[in-house]
Each structure stands twice: as structure tokens, then as C-alpha cells.
Amino acid sequence: MIYKTILASLTALVIAATNSFAQDSHKSGPFQGAKANKGFVTHTTQNGKSTLTLSDDFVPPQTPDPHWQVVDSNGKTYLLDRLMTKSQKVKKSIVVPDYVPDIAKVQMWCAFAEVNLGEAAFEQPVK
């Protein structure tokens, strides 16, 4: 009888641990837009920091000044960092500032033309 109790407890612990790890990673839908229309974004939480990472098949938009931009569940936008570094390499991941309450969509934003180049939405807002 005691073995069944221990086995049930260990099973519950493993299931709880697996669910907590799974909740730390969220995949968006595909990018959709005129210039950014390949790939997706993954949201992870590491050490209490919210991080967005582009998929390997993401193709950076060929525009003058693409930036990361996020939209929260209330529709408020937050312009973040440039997508390209000064040496013209893609910044594949970015740490989201603490003042962003949640993330419903990730957009590629052209700061030069002030236009949305494409966006990827999460099924539910993430934080």
C-alpha cells in the first residue's frame, strides 16, 4: 500500500514538473505581412526575464530600419530594439523590458517608413 502511495506521489510530481517547464515556452503563429512573412517567434522565460527568439527560417525584411515591436493584450505597442546590428547581423532574440505587461503579438516595424512589415500572434497573451 505504501508503495502505491509513493508511486502516485512521484507520478504527480513528475507531471507537475513537466507542466511547469512546458509553460515557460510559447510558440507564435507564423509571421504574416508584406515584408516579414516567414518563420515564427518563441517566447521563453529564463531567470524571470521574458525573451523572444526568432525561428531559424525567419527572413529579415529588406527595409531601411526594421525593429522589434510588441503589442500587449490591450493593443498598446512597444517599440523595442533594432532587428539588425551595426554589422548587419540579425538580432535573433531580445529580452522584453519589465514594463511590458504581456505580449499578444510580435511585429517587425520599419522605423524609417513607420509601417508594420509583418506580425506573428500568440494564441493567448504571454508574459
Q: Please report whether residue 37 resides in a domain.
A: yes
Q: Please report whether residue 43 resides in a domain.
A: yes
User: What is the rounded distance in angstroms from the CA atom of residue 57 to the CA atom of residue 40?
Assistant: 8
What is the pLDDT tens value at each position of the chain, 127 positions in all?
565 545 445 444 444 444 444 458 999 999 999 999 999 999 999 889 999 999 999 999 999 999 999 999 999 999 999 999 989 899 999 999 999 999 999 999 999 999 999 999 999 999 8
Run of H or E residues at 19: helix 2-22
Q: Are 83 and 66 in contact (CB under 8 A)?
A: yes
* pLDDT of 84: 94
Number of domains in the chain: 1
**Strand ranges, E, within the chain:** 25-27, 41-46, 49-54, 66-71, 77-82, 93-95, 103-110, 115-126
* pLDDT of 125: 97
Q: Please report whether residue 2 resides in a domain.
A: no
Q: Please report whether residue 15 resides in a domain.
A: no
Domain that holds residue 96: 24-126
Q: Please report whether residue 31 resides in a domain.
A: yes
Q: Please report whether residue 104 resides in a domain.
A: yes
* pLDDT of 21: 47
Given the C-alpha cell 515584408, which residue does it identify? Answer: 35
